[in-house]
Amino acid sequence: MNLGYSFCPNDTFIFYALTHGKIPLEQPIHEILEDVETLNIWAQTAKLELTKISYHAYAHVMDQYVALRAGGALGRGVGPLLVAKSKLEDLRGKTVASPGKLTTAQLLLQIAHPEVKTVFMRYDQIMPAVERGEVDAGLIIHESRFTYQQHGLVKLLDLGEWWEADTGLPIPLGAILARRDLPSKTLQTLNNAVRSSLEYAYAHPLEPKAYIKQHALEMEESVMQAHIDLYVNDFSLDVGDAGQRAVETLFARAADLGFIQHSSLPLFV
């Protein structure tokens, strides 16, 4: 069974045990590592049985996928940042580099600042584009939130803080989806396996390090650990009631604004 997830340390930390034979399963899991926006696009044709995906993209493929309760990325203080070379008093008419049309970061930007213009590029190309003056601002995700100051950039807005202040809820970033055509018993088994994989990583934190570093795009070890500490949390073990309310709230607001369609399908297994 194929499982797609990103190169980011939070994903490789969570899925190390599952993809290295540490969690007993009747059917082995084969990992496919890709940029999250690529995974978002692949999900539109249900290419993979299991996949990491942005919650924004999930809203567009709910007829084909259902989210597992384990393995996702939600939390407080984890939101996308809007950065620039200097403070901007007004974003109207400004061009923002975004990490992808289907990313949750892009959806949050649309909700918070519908007046901006966006251009799309891979997340690790955004800060260099801002530095070169090719765009007015950049919407950064993943490890970029730890390194933007090293690029001489300043924070304009933390969309996570904006969301939390407005809703009182954690911010839902990414989910692990399974195809809805899988048997319900299989879906529950997969959910339990993902949770067990994370529990294994917590119990053996040094064991996944080589695998994490292999895929971390030359990231410094301190940044890798900060990334894991921030994006892997109790919501990664189980989305919980607060996490589910956060997803429901995000989808309701986006649907009311016409960015996605309302759906009555269950969100989680």
Could you tell me if 252 and 264 are in contact, meaning their C-beta atoms sit under 8 angstroms apart?
Answer: no
Among the listed residues 134, 6, 161, the one whose alpha carbon sits nearest the alpha carbon of residue 75: 161
Closest CA to 240 of 159, 172, 185: 172
Of 56, 60, 113, 142, the active-site residue reads: 142
Tell me which residue of 184, 106, 99 sits closest to 142, measured CA to CA. 99
Tokens of 99: 């990490």
- 32 in helix, strand or coil? strand
Closest alpha carbon to 6 in 34, 44, 43:
34
SS3 (DSSP) at 84 = strand
- Amino acid identity, position 139: L
Cα dist from 118 to 93, 111, 113, 176, 227, whole Å: 10, 13, 11, 27, 26
Catalytic: 113?
A: no
- Residues 171, 174, 178, 179, CA torsion sign: positive
190: which 2 tokens? 């997969």
Residue 40 contacts residue 224 (beta carbons within 8 Å): no
- What positions carry a catalytic annotation? 142
